[in-house]
Amino acid sequence: MAVQRWNAADGPVTEAALRAKLESRGYRIAKYVYEPGTVFPDHTHGVDKIDAVVSGRFRLVVGGHLAVLGPGDWVAIPRGSVHSAAVVGDDPVVTLDAVKL
């Protein structure tokens, strides 16, 4: 699992900037806010997607590989990949769920 990190040369991490970056790559975006303690057990999706973090910390396990994402980080999750996720810490996590068009 390759974690993509925000490039500081692109300016500060904002929801609008991260959304624009993902939309320019052909993704449709939905915003979600997950409260502390939120856990998603192993599951799959029938689409290729990206989980991107606007704020907070989000632990993802994709195909047995662990990553903790922070603001500006994202991970591509291929369709059918078994993955799980959890909010890390005491702050809500704001994510952009990007689905390939």
What domain count does the chain have?
1
- 101 has a pLDDT exceeding 80: no
pTM for this predicted structure: 0.93
What's the confidence (pLDDT) of residue 63?
87
Domain with 33, as residue range(s), is 3-100
State the Cα–Cα distance between residues 36 and 62, nearest whole angstrom: 21
Handedness of CA 85, 4, 70, 23 (dihedral sign): negative
Chain segment 22-33, per-residue pLDDT in tens: 999 999 999 999
| Cα dist from 10 to 14, 51, 57, whole Å | 10, 19, 21
CATH number, position 74: 2.60.120.10
- 14 has a pLDDT exceeding 80: yes
